[in-house]
């Protein structure tokens, strides 16, 4: 592959919006294991939230996909590959990126709930502090 072809392929991988309209690969080899990626993403996304027992599996899959994406990009950058093999790698990287986008917002309900709970507790502590500072705390006034 010529240097300018390599640059073109890397530019496609790095392009903002590269995943728009991209398909998630049906199957992919990630870290040496075959994964039915499209099915995994579809089943995971079809639930309202990921059960606590499966969260670690989903997080591990996301870590493995990120690692695989980096390794494939490095192959385009450094390996002596053909233009055709480079094209295949680009398509797979974009598919992996698409899968990661689909999995990225899972569990946001729990995060939002935790943030709301924390914010409420902070407000309550602040109001208690203000009451004490202004001498309006009834428990201290009785002492």
pLDDT single digits (tens) 5-49: 989 999 888 888 777 878 888 898 887 888 888 898 888 888 767
Q: Whose structure tokens read 């698409």?
A: 98
Q: How far apart are CA 30 and CA 64, in angstroms?
A: 7
More confident residue, 83 or 47: 83
pLDDT grade for 114, boundaries at 50, 70 and 90? low
| pLDDT tens-digit series, residues 56-82 | 888 888 889 999 999 999 999 988 999
| Cβ–Cβ < 8 Å for 62, 50 | no
Domain ranges of the chain: 3-106, 107-143
Q: What is the mean pLDDT of residues 101-128?
A: 73
> Between the CA of residue 64 and those of 29, 58, 71, what are the distances in Å?
10, 10, 10
pTM for the full model?
0.67
């Amino acid at each position: 592959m010529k240097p300018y072809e390599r640059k073109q392929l890397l530019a496609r991988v790095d392009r903002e919006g590269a995943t728009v309209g991209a398909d998630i690969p049906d199957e992919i080899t990630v870290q040496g294991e075959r994964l039915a990626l499209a099915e995994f993403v579809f089943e995971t996304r079809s639930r309202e939230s990921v059960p606590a027992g499966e969260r670690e599996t989903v997080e591990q899959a996301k870590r493995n996909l990120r690692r695989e994406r980096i390794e494939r990009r490095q192959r385009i950058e450094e390996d002596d590959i053909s233009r055709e093999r480079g094209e295949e790698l680009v398509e797979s990287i974009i598919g992996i990126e698409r899968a990661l986008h689909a999995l990225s917002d899972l569990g946001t309900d729990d995060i939002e709930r935790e943030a709301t709970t924390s914010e409420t507790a902070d407000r309550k502590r602040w109001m208690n502090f203000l009451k004490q500072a202004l001498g309006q705390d009834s428990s201290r006034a009785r002492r």
